Copies of this chain bind each other. A is one copy, B any other.
Amino acid sequence: MNEHTPIRVLLVDDHPLVRDGISSRLQEEPHIEVVGQAGNGREAIARAHELCPDVVLMDITMPVMDGLEATRRFKAELPEVRVLILSMHDDQEYIVKLMHDGANGYVLKDVSSDELIKAIEAVHQGSTYFSAGASQSLFNNFHGRPGGHEPVLTRREETVLRLIAEGQCNKDIARSLNISVRTVETHRQNIKGKLDIHTAAGLARYAIEHKLVAL
């Protein structure tokens, strides 16, 4: 990297304390300059237009506009800006979506600040950076199970699962979907078989975890 012009970083996280902290740590590095901060995606884009940062270090979960949407906007409006995602969640689904939307790297919040700095340098140079946990996830997802070990539910099964997770009993579900209770039972059985989950509560948990239902 160029020692004479520091890497200009825009910090985006909805927690000022976390921003302040990371900012404070990054300022210790002479070749990195935190040129601004933002508390959500919309702010981030506005500030980026003013500040022309090299790298945007962005959290995913934020109010107003989250990291996913913001990444899309960045790639549309300011494609020259490198987007480095900083997330708490080692979540394949997120990672895949984000990379698809043009993010240049993904770093878990449980890395050291040294590794974060390496990541910033890497994406600034044009590389793509994944922290250890994240790349592991991706690898598993793409290569580990070609057929997809993730049991995939059919559309109908997913619908039924959603209703179960909403707290409806089989009778209610049958009425909702205009099918017989027996059919609902069969779906339920098949779902449990596929997911290897054997209680209704477990199914609800699964559904929420996989974002089939909102809370």
The residue from B21, B88, B167, B200 contacting A24, defined by CB atoms under 8 A apart = B21
Residues in B neighbouring A14, C-beta threshold 8 A: 110
- Inter-chain contact A28/B24, CB cutoff 8 Å: yes
Pick from A2-10, A47-55, A68-76, A111-119 the stretch touching chain B: A111-119
- Inter-chain contact B16/A18, CB cutoff 8 Å: no
Residues in B neighbouring A213, C-beta threshold 8 A: 205
Nearest 5 pairs between A and B by C-beta?
Answer: A21-B21, A167-B202, A201-B204, A204-B204, A20-B113
Interface residues of A (CB under 8 A from B): 14-18, 20-25, 28, 86, 88, 107, 109-113, 116, 164-169, 197-205, 208-209, 213, 215
> Which residue of chain B has its CB nearest to the CB of A27?
B24
For the A-B complex with A199-B200, A205-B208 known, give 19 more contacts whose Cβ atoms are closer than 8 Å: A14-B110, A16-B109, A16-B113, A18-B18, A18-B22, A21-B113, A23-B25, A24-B25, A24-B28, A164-B199, A166-B202, A167-B201, A167-B202, A169-B199, A201-B201, A201-B203, A201-B204, A204-B208, A205-B213
The residue from B15, B20, B199 contacting A167, defined by CB atoms under 8 A apart = B199
- Inter-chain contact B28/A22, CB cutoff 8 Å: no
Most buried by B among A88, A197, A198: A88
The residue from B20, B21, B88, B204 contacting A20, defined by CB atoms under 8 A apart = B21
> Which residue of chain B has its CB nearest to the CB of A205?
B204
Residues in B neighbouring A23, C-beta threshold 8 A: 21, 25
Most buried by B among A15, A116, A197: A15
In the bound assembly, the distance between CA atoms of A21 and B29 in angstroms comes to 13
- Inter-chain contact B112/A17, CB cutoff 8 Å: yes
What is the CB-to-nearest-CB distance from A131 to chain B, in angstroms, rounded to a whole number? 10
> Which residue of chain B has its CB nearest to the CB of A110?
B15
Residues in B neighbouring A18, C-beta threshold 8 A: 18, 21-22, 109
What is the CB-to-nearest-CB distance from A169 to chain B, in angstroms, rounded to a whole number? 5
